[in-house]
Structure 1
């Protein structure tokens, strides 16, 4: 019995039914059109191929050689049976994978696809599609691992460490994952086992901003130097420009083209400020205009960089019983229980010369009324010069010598405040209270020597000890106001993740942008574009 198999633009468009993108326009390194029509006569499934053919294949296609271990593992598992061919030719997932590879930009990836012309020939030639060819088989498996490596895994772990990212990378077997994809190809569209939900939210945001770019982006707003600020009730031509800008990014529902600062504009401005980490007051200042004038291409680049960071994160990160997540660029801490946020607090992080590291740890102690053991670097650079100028410096700051170290006693002056949260790590970083509360009122909060100051330390302690009958709120308050340090070892350790995301999509699907305070984005962007 004969049947007709049509692989064409029509079929590729039909992939939209299951949420797949249409291929991009053909370029020098990728094709977007697969068009052919032919008859297929069913035959018996191809017999296993000779394992000795693998080495010559990688000699012929050296750009895929780094994938050889995975390819060999795959075929050993399947006894060198054909995976991309059934009894009548190339299977459904092969065409789908080819379409996905041709649309890598939708995944926030700009790269050259190795052997694009060869792959194009395969998918445009009916004979190649029909026959069981070992070279084509190995090309498809290599293409799958290439796709998984770029989309699911991201750049090499060694490179992320060089970028200062010490969070543990997820471990996943893409050899095993292929089995489920061959059974249900549509799973490739949203692999929540491989990528966190945030990745797909950023992917949607990327599409939105690319649509904005396609429609011309936005024009820079001209803000005369004679204007220091604008407030509700003011009239200005600047307001016309701001309205248009806020409408483009959906902060305003309509562009009324009015030049008066009315409640409608205020509502849109407040939404923009909230999305861009500004204080949500009613003033329109030059710094807000500077933010609005960051062009759409730069915003797209930021989204792509953060999609890459999302690839490094395990989807189960916040699905544990409890976890604490700090995002350095947004200066925020979020405490999750059962996957839901139960506490959000402002934080102060390390300044550019004393960057807070990106890593993870296990919180195992809370220290109430802590001593502050002055780090050797601070002792050498700050304390000793201060003592040289003023012999009463230590007494004035409630400090004392302990051997050859200096420590600060518990109390109102203590640099760690009234409570310290310990998660042992090689970076000697912890979270703590602080007597310098006014710093939390600032938008940009990179002021520490690397440790993380918490705006709501009492609330955090209460939440962490919630459910422990030995720790009432009254007992916590008393412990925070002792003259002697008190350490409590947690019954259950809490994972702590210190991350670095300059773009983040919230639960309302609104994208937030944060300043790249440590200039990590530019370094990562150069790596991502290095093979173009």
Structure 2
């Protein structure tokens, strides 16, 4: 461990009375000189090549302040301790110039800053447009210019490395329960030992980024959409007119040519397709492909919703992909290639094998947008399943949705497959609506096919009491937009998911947990039957509105919870971005989220 701001060790000297002869005076002078040298120059704590200390006093003066006026974002207080340690470990030697000129590594990082947009970052966060002028100033041989150039470069490199590795904003600022702290570099050590003398800066930059195929595919999609957005800007084409009612195959449509051009831009229509003034089947098929990629009902009709989506500028799609890259960077290594990813705005669960190759997807129902029922974003380990579970009704739901019926019909709960227990789990037959509304007694729905949790739930214990489960309300999976739950995630094919999760495990009778065994247990097995996983499975409840699917196509989804808008609002304020952990809203009342 390095000690920021460590002080030089001074040797203890015992006082000895000597006769002041010329020889002893000379010895004393030499000893004092040696002690001065030993006391002022500590051992360097870096493996980087030594450099000049000619500007040490200037650098020390710059690093004492949490602001540096020449930066675009002068306040670097969040990085000041690391910057101070960086220079303390190298005895305030410069790092980024030699013989009065920028090192090749400095120039390589300046190029990386200029190319930051391709990584989903803002080049001006690293002063991309300012480095040319700073390099020119070095010709004046002003000591302050050299010191400020060096410290500014160190700050920019640290900002860039950190942003690329763990993201710009701490996810807990948005109440996302994702811990980036386990990924953090010791920036002073990393930059000094890895970056200052790097043989290949682009290779180093690549090693900093998440080792995820989905991340790399998203980065490639971003490059493509940056190019498309530029083409769209240069073409200066007017948006399509919003239709009053859906346009179907065979109908006349005056803007068919403009529509076809728009579909060709993203590759949803063949480049050689010729438009007429009729909304023909070829255009309808291209619209259907576009709808498939944008989470719109795939009917091939030109609906008002479809036109609204087509009119979204591609620069906005660029932003969506940038936001996706930011969130991929947040994930700890153990969850970066999680075997289960539920993408909330997509309403889809993605399952992967142990090598993170796609296995299957299935539709899900997620938390309602309104009413504080949004499904939280977090990463955890799935540890067990419960077949034929009870549903313990949260007090707030019981008060709102059950108590009014109990008031008018004391037998209401029994007729609807519910039972009431005390805190010990004993079933009660005498209770009041007031007790239910105050949580003095607990209401639970008995297991069975009509149970609100269905016949199996997938548990990854968390503070929100959120999990995956089946549901008797299967008709909701036919909807394109599927935010209907109180926070939990309902899965379309629970038996398939359970068999996949339990693959390789055996039950108590040494039988395989195949699809037949799972189905039998769900339909006629014991109630509230828990099966522990021998190997916990990483699961991420995630939120990206730009996602590269298994077919290689880039799909976009609505920002249903407004998280993209929140992220953009924070980034617009500039550095320093929030790093303080905000309180995570945890569930505090008993009962199972539905």
Q: CA RMSD in A?
A: 3.0
Find the aligned partners of 1:180 and 1:397 in 2 and give their Cα distance. 65
Q: Deviations over 1:242-291 (max 9, x none)?
A: 21221122211225122333443233222211110123333332221222
Contact 2:390–2:451 at 8 Å: present in 1 too? yes
Farther off after superposition, 251-260 or 119-128: 119-128
Among 172, 196, 202, the alignment partner of 1:186 is 202
CA deviation after TM superposition for structure 1 residue 373, in Å: 0.7
Matched, 1:288 2:325: no
2:553 corresponding residue in structure 1 = 510
Residues 1:115 and 1:298: Cα distance change in structure 2 (over 3 Å): closer
Matches within 5 A, 1:21-32: none
3-state secondary structure, aligned to 2:471: coil
Residues 1:461 and 1:84: Cα distance change in structure 2 (over 3 Å): same
2:174 corresponding residue in structure 1 = 163
User: Matched residue pairs, number?
Assistant: 483
Matched, 1:335 2:377: no
Find the aligned partners of 1:88 and 1:316 in 2 and give their Cα distance. 45
3-state secondary structure, aligned to 1:235: coil
Find the aligned partners of 2:287 and 2:455 in 1 and give their Cα distance. 38
1:491 corresponding residue in structure 2 = 534
3-state secondary structure, aligned to 1:527: helix
1:298 corresponding residue in structure 2 = 316
Farther off after superposition, 214-223 or 461-470: 214-223
2:222 corresponding residue in structure 1 = 203
Among 505, 520, 528, the alignment partner of 2:563 is 520
Among 378, 395, 398, the alignment partner of 2:417 is 398
Contact 1:234–1:260 at 8 Å: present in 2 too? yes
2:396 corresponding residue in structure 1 = 377
CA deviation after TM superposition for structure 1 residue 503, in Å: 1.2
Find the aligned partners of 2:472 and 2:360 in 1 and give their Cα distance. 21
Contact 1:431–1:454 at 8 Å: present in 2 too? yes
Q: Unmatched 5+ residue regions in structure 1?
A: 1-43
1:239 corresponding residue in structure 2 = 256
1:455 corresponding residue in structure 2 = 492
Residues 1:251 and 1:191: Cα distance change in structure 2 (over 3 Å): farther
1:138 corresponding residue in structure 2 = 151
1:123 corresponding residue in structure 2 = 135
Contact 1:205–1:511 at 8 Å: present in 2 too? no
Contact 1:347–1:452 at 8 Å: present in 2 too? yes
Find the aligned partners of 1:130 and 1:194 in 2 and give their Cα distance. 40
2:38 corresponding residue in structure 1 = none
1:326 corresponding residue in structure 2 = 342
Residues 1:358 and 1:117: Cα distance change in structure 2 (over 3 Å): closer
CA deviation after TM superposition for structure 1 residue 521, in Å: 1.6
Find the aligned partners of 1:490 and 1:315 in 2 and give their Cα distance. 21
Farther off after superposition, 399-408 or 136-145: 136-145
Among 240, 255, 268, the alignment partner of 1:221 is 240
Q: Deviations over 1:75-111 (max 9, x none)?
A: 4555555432346842212112223334544444447
Matches within 5 A, 1:299-318: 299-314=317-332, 317-318=335-336
Residues 1:77 and 1:462: Cα distance change in structure 2 (over 3 Å): farther
CA deviation after TM superposition for structure 1 residue 220, in Å: 2.0
TM-score normalised by length of structure 2: 0.74
TM-score normalised by length of structure 1: 0.82
Matched, 1:274 2:292: yes
Contact 2:138–2:146 at 8 Å: present in 1 too? no
Find the aligned partners of 2:120 and 2:126 in 1 and give their Cα distance. 18
2:61 corresponding residue in structure 1 = 56
Residues 1:249 and 1:214: Cα distance change in structure 2 (over 3 Å): same
User: Looking at CA atoms only, which structure, 1 or 2, has the larger radius of gyration?
Assistant: 2
Contact 2:55–2:94 at 8 Å: present in 1 too? no
CA deviation after TM superposition for structure 1 residue 197, in Å: 2.1
